Amino acid sequence: MIRVFSAAPLMLIAATIVAPAETSTSKGFFDVISADDLKNFCIFRGDAYSIGAFMCDNTKQANICAGPEETPPSGMKPTGRAFWRSVDAEQVCSP
């Protein structure tokens, strides 16, 4: 499922993982995913985004969800989980 969020001045365009539980109880995504699997998702405002999801804002910067095996930017220690990487917006955002 693709979800598009807009909040001034930020526009998110991302492949969001939505996992409605098929049970009689109403469990959400964070209730059904294991802690080990959660390391493969970036979190923003309480939503989980898959690796490769990206956010564009009105400046020249964008953020991409990078996987736990990727090398973080200099100055950032590896955490063993997905993280948001800053990139030039022209690489991923439409004009």
Residues 6+ apart with CB under 8 A from 20: none
Residues 13-29: what's their mean pLDDT? Answer: 57
pTM value surpassing 0.75: no
For strands 54-57 and 61-66, give the pairing: antiparallel
- Number of independent structural domains in the chain: 1
Residue numbers of the domain that contains 9: 2-91
pLDDT for 4 beyond 60: no
pLDDT for 30 beyond 60: yes
Indicate the average pLDDT of the chain: 76
| Contact assessment for residue 64 and residue 92, using Cβ atoms and an 8 Å cutoff | yes
Count the Cβ atoms, other than its own, within 10 Å of residue 64: 20
Give burial (CB, 10 Å; 0-12/13-18/19+) of 95.
exposed
pLDDT tens string 31-61: 888 989 999 999 999 899 999 999 987 778 8
What does the pLDDT read at residue 38? 93
